[in-house]
Amino acid sequence: MMKYSLATAAVAVLSACAGAPMMMKIDNAALPESVRVPAGQKVLMATTGVGKLTYKCREKKDNAGQHEWAFVGPVATLFGADRKAVGKYYAGPTWEAADGSKVTGKQVAVAPAMPGSIPLQLVKAEPAAMTTAGSGAMTGVNYIQRLNTKGGVAPAMGCDAAAKGTRRQVAYEADYVFYGS
């Protein structure tokens, strides 16, 4: 746990010093093993996403009559170290840079974050889904890490038959680190 706390502090310090979009070195060895990127990957870009996650109250798939808040999708603005918008993040999942380049991906793994926050995450970029017109900030992205999460967990309010179909948005913030080889 101490290693992870030091890594979090190091990312925060580096983020404050970096240009937009942020360029930093992440100590993957200090992160939970499940969200580490494979050896040989280099940080291409790092951003902070600030936005909302949408949840919908629905009946549980395997438990008729019981209900749960189900994740619908994200909407966030990606900021560089200078707090200027450098892109956006939305359902897919899709990360789109201000230059129009974008990448989608598939979740590989998650790891617990601090209480009240969505988990840390490792996403593998899907090459067939990359849209870059040959160049752009998202060109060459192989992996995306979600780190330093704040908030975003499903609503605390009840989800029952009376609330079925209700949507709620929850504020969140997270660092997104983009890697390529």
Q: Per-residue pLDDT tens for 66-96? A: 999 999 999 999 999 899 999 999 999 999 9
71 and 154 in contact (C-beta within 8 Å)? Answer: yes
Angstrom distance (rounded) from CA 101 to CA 84:
17
| Residue 35 pLDDT greater than 80, yes or no | yes
> Where is average pLDDT lowest: 11-20, 28-37, 89-98?
11-20
pLDDT of residue 9: 37
Distance CA 126, CA 138 (A): 12
Nearest residue to 118 (alpha-carbon basis) of 54, 28, 180, 25:
54
E strand or H helix at 3? helix 2-17
> Is the model's pLDDT at 125 over the cut of 60?
yes
Q: Provide the residue type at 149 as one letter.
A: T
The mean predicted confidence, pLDDT, of the chain is 86
